[in-house]
Amino acid sequence: MTQSIRSIIPVLARAGFHYLDNAAMAQTPGLVVEAVASHDRTARANIRRGVHEMARRADAAYDAARQSVAAFLSAQADEVVFTGGCTLALNLAAAALAEGLGPGDRVVVSAAEHHSNLLPWLMLAKRKGFAVAVLPVGPDGRLDLADLSMIDGRCKVVAVTHASNVTGAVSDIPRLAEAAHGAGAVLVVDGAQMVPHGPVDPRALGADLYAFAGHKAYGPTGVGVLWGRKEILADLPPVTWGGGMVAALDDDGIEFLEAPHRFEAGTPPVAQAVGLAAALDWMGRLDWAEIRAEEMELTARLLAGLAEIPGVRVVGPTDLAARVPVVSFTVAGCHPHDLSHVLAERGVAVRGGAHCARRLMTALGLDEGCVRASLAPYNDRSDIDALLAGLAEAIQVLG
Amino acid sequence: MSELYQQAIKDLAAKGSERLAVPDASSTLDNPLCGDKVTLDVTTADGRIVALGHVTKGCLLCKAAATVAAEQAPGLPVAQAAALADQVRAMLKGGDAPALAGLEPFLAVRPHKSRHDCVLLPFKALAKALASF
């Protein structure tokens, strides 16, 4: 499976190139690149209400893209909102939900959140007067769900990551959904790191709103998705305003279109949506049971290799249970930036730093951040072995 | 052999430093992307830097640059020391190196834009500390 996938990712043909920075941005298949280019060659026009041929093609392509996303999520098309990315999807969710929040209300996030699912809530809390409480993590970075008492009658929103962008730990979304819904709260899930590892059914998980990014799911940059239960989206107000989202406008007031259009003011990322649809359609044709088995085999190989290097501390779970193939680590006496740099000189692309998760860094005692290796279905043993060999060399260079 | 991590850089980074007991000015700066953090103290007399102490948590480049600042800033006029950040930035972008000993190993950082801030952080912290003069 790995080799057949690898063969359609143009950049991976480069000899000696080991791309393990997929959690930041995945590489994209040639068919996605071609889908975007083909759209711009043959159907480039603004959507909605155009009557000429190109506009009709653009409308059809955009509608089909929404349908593809819906199919990937086992959802309905009118539950899919296109955004400019996952950050914007999460900001949309937060801003829309916060319209109904105020003093006395509480939003619960976790200590494992990417800043995209933390800062919107912290900033909106200042403006609207609600409180933000933080679910802790255990020593391995997994959410500590032993005490969910903060998800009570005051709690109106629970906003958590599906899979950590640092530790790879997968959150127990069904359990959080049970707690959130038991308290009458809405569950927002950041799926940025989960979607790249196979189709997701957010409704079955118990999510109410679910966000992910195109560029991490083998699609283009500049596009993301906010999925929402129809009944949730119907109650949320738009938070950006402009063309294409108004049903009526006169001196008596403004009437917005139904979801998802009310949340897509202005020209949406049409070509990017088409590219994302191509990526998700492609993902939908893959055997994810086989891919997951391969991903976990490589994760085990990486964890075992790291365990043999003196001074290495794996940040996050060291087992394969409920995780995605994202592995972070530190090396005693070596700064993550320096390690990443030396690895890059050896053709191994990883990422060092705080990974936009300062709160998690603090919780795990990582003042200087960590190095993250993140896998995708096109990675193979050679990538893991190159990382481990490069790491041993890097430690020598930096020592 | 790494192009960046020459022995000179490693030797500079390995030199320790401490905060000054009674500074005339202090500053703290961090790089939110990677967690580098410099806390820096200076004493001055007659318009010149007398001593510079610092505690730097960060990568080798940041620590090495902090050592250069600590070793070379004493004796400089305050205005000249405060201008080092802009001069080092210009050097990293391909311009001339400022007249400050110890910067030559950092010329290798020029092609690595994402690492410029690592080198600049101590000099920016110095400029910040001197801003009140």
At B34 the pLDDT is 74
pLDDT surpasses 60 at A98: yes
* Nearest residue, CB atoms, A342 vs list B2, B61, B118: B2
CB contact B118 to A (< 8 Å): yes
pLDDT surpasses 80 at A302: yes
User: In a mutagenesis test of the A interface, which of B10, B36, B37, B59 is the best target, namely the one with the most A β-carbons within 10 Å?
Assistant: B59
CB contact B4 to A (< 8 Å): yes
DSSP one-letter string for A111-165: TT--GGGTHHHHHHHHHH--EEEEE-B-TTS-B--S--TTSSTTEEEEEEESB-T
Chain A: closest CA distance from residue B57 (Å): 8
Is B40 inside a domain boundary?
A: yes
Chain A: closest CA distance from residue B10 (Å): 8
CATH of the domain at B82: 3.90.1010.10
Distance (Å) of CA B111 to CA A17, A215, B93, B94: 20, 26, 8, 9
Distance (Å) of CA B60 to CA A84, A160, A347: 37, 35, 21
CB contact A353 to B (< 8 Å): yes
pLDDT surpasses 90 at A189: yes
Share of chain A above pLDDT 90, in %: 95
- The pair of three-digit structure tokens given for residue A349, joined into one six-digit string: 């692309």
Is B111 inside a domain boundary?
A: yes
At A132 the pLDDT is 98
Is B37 inside a domain boundary?
A: yes
- Measured CA to CA, the distance from residue A63 to residue A318 in angstroms comes to 43
Q: Which pLDDT band, with edges at 50, 70 and 90, does B97 fall under?
A: confident
- Measured CA to CA, the distance from residue A191 to residue A214 in angstroms comes to 11
- Average pLDDT over all residues of chain A: 97
Is B2 inside a domain boundary?
A: no
- Average confidence (pLDDT) over B8-16: 94
Q: Which domain holds residue B100?
A: 7-130
User: Are A335 and B60 inside 8 Å of each other by CB?
Assistant: yes
Q: Put residue A355 in one of left, alpha, beta given phi > 0 → left and psi -120 to 50 → alpha.
A: left
User: Are B34 and A353 inside 8 Å of each other by CB?
Assistant: yes
Size of the A and B interface in Cβ pairs below 8 Å: 52
Q: What 8-state DSSP symbol labels residue A59?
A: H
pLDDT surpasses 70 at B79: yes
At B31 the pLDDT is 86
- Measured CA to CA, the distance from residue A367 to residue B35 in angstroms comes to 7
* Least confident range of A226-235, A345-354, B34-43: B34-43
At B28 the pLDDT is 97
At B1 the pLDDT is 55
Chain A: closest CA distance from residue B15 (Å): 14
pLDDT surpasses 80 at A36: yes
- The pair of three-digit structure tokens given for residue A48, joined into one six-digit string: 């909605």
pLDDT surpasses 80 at A1: no
Closest CA to A134 of A116, A107, A156: A107
At A2 the pLDDT is 82
Which residues numbered 73-92 in B keep a CB inside 8 Å of some CB on A? Answer: none
* Least confident range of A226-230, A334-338, A385-389, B31-35: B31-35
Domains and CATH numbers, chain A: 31-284 (3.40.640.10), 288-398 (3.90.1150.10)
Chain A: closest CA distance from residue B2 (Å): 7
Cβ density class A93-132: b for 16+ within 10 Å, e for less: bbbbbbeebeeebbbbbbbbbbbbbbbbbeebbeeeebeb
Residue A356 bears catalytic tag: yes
User: Are B33 and A353 inside 8 Å of each other by CB?
Assistant: yes
- Average confidence (pLDDT) over A256-263: 97
CB contact A337 to B (< 8 Å): yes
CB contact B60 to A (< 8 Å): yes
Q: Which pLDDT band, with edges at 50, 70 and 90, does A399 fall under?
A: confident
User: Choosing from A86, A155, A334, A356, which is the catalytic residue?
Assistant: A356
User: Are A398 and B5 inside 8 Å of each other by CB?
Assistant: yes
User: Are A338 and B35 inside 8 Å of each other by CB?
Assistant: no
Is B1 inside a domain boundary?
A: no
- Measured CA to CA, the distance from residue A190 to residue A188 in angstroms comes to 7
Instruction: Calculate Rg over the CA atoms of chain B.
Output: 14
- The pair of three-digit structure tokens given for residue A21, joined into one six-digit string: 């920075």
- Average confidence (pLDDT) over B104-126: 95
Please write the tens of the pLDDT for every residue from A119-174: 999 999 999 999 999 999 999 999 999 999 999 999 999 999 999 999 999 999 99
In chain B, the number of structural domains is 1
